[in-house]
Structure 1
C-alpha cells in the first residue's frame, strides 16, 4: 500500500503533516501492511506528480491518502488518474483543518464519476481506521492478483456463431474486462496426451507421495494410476501456460476426470474447477488470495445445493467431490470412489466455526456476488449416506434455511456455492465495491 499526506500551507493545521504521516505509517506498518510512504508532503501538483512517479515504480496495489488540511480536487484527481488503484481516503478529527469536509467533498466527486472508494475518520491510532486500511490493502492485493490471473478454459472452443464472427463468446470479453483475468483456450487433449506419456512406475511414485492426502481408495488400480497421470498432465499444462486457474470440461465426455487431480492440487494452492464454471473458479481464486498467509486450509470447497432442514436450521450441501482433503476431519475419513471411468473424492466437511460463502452470477458485464457468513456443523454417518456418501457439508447461516433459499431464488443466485474457512465477508465486500460488482449479503 502507498501512503501519502496532502496539506496546504494556506490552511490551519498544516504543521501537523509530518507527525500525522509518520504516525499513520507506524500504525499501518505495525498492522502488517507492506507500506511505501510518499517522499513528499503533497502541497501542489508538482509534488503530487513526483509522488505518483515514485509510487508507480514501487509495486503498490492500493493507496491511502491522508487529508491533513483542505485541498483542491485537482491534487487527488492526479492520484486517481495516474495510479487508478483501490484508494482509502483518511479524514482526521481536527475541526480547524476541514479534513473531513475535504474527504466528503472529494468522495461526492468520485460518486459523480462512478469511481469506487473507501474512507475512514480518526487519528492514526484509531483501530477501526487501521482495520479498514488493512482490508483495503488486502483488497488491492486480491484485485491485482485477479487482474493478472491466467485462467485456462479446458474444453472445446466455441466454433459456432449466432450473430458475430468470433471464436470466443461475448461473455468471455465482458468477464475479462470486468475482472481483468485472461482466459486461455486449451483442449483437454493437452492434459490427456501428456498423461499418456507417463509410465505406470512414475504414476505409482506420485501416488506414494500423495498418499497422505488421498484417503481410502475404492476405485480400481487402473483408474487411480490414470488419475495420477492426469494430475501430472494438469501440472504440465499449468507450467506451459503459467496458469493460476484451470477450468475443466466435464459432463458428458470427461465427467470426473479431473476430480482427484483437483483435490490434490487444491491442497497445493491451485484452483482446478471441474465443471466448466469460470466465474466459480475465479471466486475460488479470490477467496484463496484473500486468505493467503492465514492459518486456514489453502483451498476452497465447491458444493451444490442439496436440501435444507428448517427445524434443525441447516442446509445439506453435496458434490460429486473434487475438494482438497484438508477440509476432512481426518484423511482416514476420505473415500476416493469409482465414478464411471474416473473418480470422485468423498468426505464430510469438518466443523468450521467461521466460513465465508460466495457465488457469482451475471451477464452483459453486470455481475452479482453472494457474500455470506456461515459455519459448518458436525454430520453423522447416516446423514452422509443419505446425501449419497459424496462430498457433504452441513451449513448454517444466521437466517433460517428457507428464508436463505427464498432470497437465493429471488436474486437469481446459482447452485454452485464456494465455501472458505474463515471470515472474509467484509474483505470480499470491499473487493466487490472496488470492482463495481453488486453484492447480496447474508450474515
Structure 2
C-alpha cells in the first residue's frame, strides 16, 4: 500500500545562526584589565544583532581555560566562533580552538594600541594562511557597526556551511556505470564535490518517482490540483498531462520524505523532458529545490541561497535559467529558460502559463521587476570551484519581448556593468550557461561562505 503523504508539511528552513564568543587575554600584558568589559559589551552587541550567542563560561588565560570553553562549545550546537583578543597572548591558545572546534571563525582585534591586539590577530592569521585554513577578521570596538555586521555574516555563513554539511542531494535519473580510469560506479567529481561542499549525494532512479505517481488515484491528484490552483496559472496543457504532473509532485514529495532529502536533481534529456517542471515550480514555493536539468552544483547553490534567505521577508526560492541575448544600447541582459520556477517571481499567478512540453510541461512567465537580486553560478571540477557572485535588478518585460523569447520563463536583468562586459567576463572566466537569480542582496554573505569553503569568487 502506498504511504500517505498528505500530512507532509511544507518545508521551512529557519535561519538561526548560533555563534560562540570567547575573549582571550594575558594578565601580564597592558590592557588585560578590560577583558571582562569587552566580553560583556561584545556579547550585548552580537545578541542585539540577532545572533543566537553562546558566551564562553570564562575569559581564557591559559590552556585549562581554553579546553574548558572548547568542551562547553562542543556541547552547545554552535556553528561559528568569534575570538576577541583583549591583549597579546600565546598562539597555542587559539590553536586549541582551531583544532578542537574547526568552525568558521572571526578573529576580533580591538583598537587599544597598548594591547597589541591587532598584532596578535595578524600573527595568528599569518599562521592560518600558511596552514591553508580560511578565516575572517575585524578591527573595532564591540559597538562598531562594521565589526558587528561582519560577525553577523560569519554567523550566518557558519550556519549555512553546517546546514550544507548535513544536506542530502538526490541525483535522480539513469546513469551508465562510469568507469574510465578506475573501478567506480560513481565519478570522481561526486566525491570531490562532497568533500568540498559537505553535501551527501544520494543516487536514485526516476522510477522511484514515476512508480509512486502511477499509484496515485485520479481523484487524489485532482484534489491536489485544487489545492495548488492558486500558484499554477493558466493551463495550456492537456488534462491528462496536468493530472500526471500532480502525481509526479506527490511522487517527488514521497522520495523527499522517504530519504529525508534537501535537494532533488532530476535528469531532463533525453527521456524526461518537462517531467518535473511543474512539480519543481510548486515545490519551489514550499522551500524545496528541485532542479530539472541534472545541474547538481547549481542546485546546491540554490539550497545555499534558500538557507541564506530564511528569516528574511523574501521568497525562499530562486530562478535557474540560461543566457539569452544582451543589448548594450538598452542596458539589458535577457535570461530565459524552459521554465520550472516558483510562481512567486511572476507579477501575479494570472500572468503564468503552463504549457505542454515533452513528457510534461514548462512554466512560463516574465519575472517581475525587482530592485535587487543576487546572481550566482558555480563552475569548476576536481575540487577547484569558482562562483560568480553579483548583484543586479530585474526590469519589466513587454509582451513583444516575451513573444520574441519564445513565451517561456523570461527575465530582463540590469547589472552595474554593460551587458557585453558581463557576458565577456563570464565567457573568459569559464562560467557556464546556467546561472541563478535570487531576490534580495546576498552577495556579501555568499562571498564569506565561499571564503570559508575555499571556493574562489568572480564578483561583478
The TM-score, its normalising length taken from structure 1, stands at 0.99
Q: Partners of 2:41 and 2:175 in 1: how far apart? A: 55
1:321 to 318, 330, 339: 339
Q: CA deviation at 1:249?
A: 0.8
Q: CA deviation at 1:14?
A: 1.1
Aligned to 1:377: 395
Q: CA deviation at 1:157?
A: 3.4
Structure 2 SS opposite 1:388: coil
Structure 1 SS opposite 2:137: strand
Aligned to 2:442: 424
Aligned to 1:225: 243
Q: CA deviation at 1:302?
A: 0.6
* Structure 2: 5+ residue stretches without partners: 1-18
* Residues 160 and 120 (structure 1), Cα distance of their counterparts in 2 relative to 1, 3 Å cut: closer
Q: Partners of 1:164 and 1:419 in 2: how far apart? A: 37
Aligned to 1:308: 326
Q: Partners of 1:439 and 1:240 in 2: how far apart? A: 36
2:170 matches 1:164: no
Aligned positions of 1:40-439 closer than 5 A: 40-439=58-457
Q: Partners of 2:117 and 2:309 in 1: how far apart? A: 34
Total equivalences in the alignment: 442
Structure 2 SS opposite 1:166: coil
Q: Partners of 1:256 and 1:26 in 2: how far apart? A: 52
Q: Partners of 2:134 and 2:178 in 1: how far apart? A: 38
Q: Which portions of structure 1, spanning 4 or more consecutive aligned residues, are displaced by more than 4 angstroms?
A: none
Q: Partners of 1:40 and 1:30 in 2: how far apart? A: 21
* Structure 1: 5+ residue stretches without partners: none
Structure 2 SS opposite 1:120: strand
1:11 to 16, 19, 29: 29
Q: CA deviation at 1:347?
A: 0.4
Q: Partners of 1:400 and 1:300 in 2: how far apart? A: 24
Q: Partners of 2:21 and 2:189 in 1: how far apart? A: 37
Q: Partners of 1:368 and 1:158 in 2: how far apart? A: 27
Q: Partners of 1:418 and 1:145 in 2: how far apart? A: 20
Q: Partners of 2:204 and 2:449 in 1: how far apart? A: 29
Q: Partners of 1:398 and 1:243 in 2: how far apart? A: 37
Q: Partners of 1:105 and 1:351 in 2: how far apart? A: 48
Q: CA deviation at 1:351?
A: 0.5
Contact 2:178 2:186 in 1 (8 A): no
Q: Partners of 1:232 and 1:248 in 2: how far apart? A: 15
Q: Deviations over 1:239-294 (max 9, x none)?
A: 01000000001111000100000000000000000000000100100111111110
Q: Deviations over 1:40-90 (max 9, x none)?
A: 100001100000000011110000000001011100000000000000000
1:20 to 26, 38, 42: 38
Q: Partners of 1:242 and 1:157 in 2: how far apart? A: 22
Structure 2 SS opposite 1:210: helix
Q: Partners of 1:169 and 1:341 in 2: how far apart? A: 28
Q: CA deviation at 1:322?
A: 0.2
Q: Partners of 2:388 and 2:448 in 1: how far apart? A: 13
Structure 1 SS opposite 2:114: coil
Contact 2:272 2:358 in 1 (8 A): no
Contact 1:158 1:169 in 2 (8 A): no
Contact 2:272 2:359 in 1 (8 A): no
Contact 1:157 1:185 in 2 (8 A): no
Q: Deviations over 1:182-212 (max 9, x none)?
A: 0000000000000000000000000000001
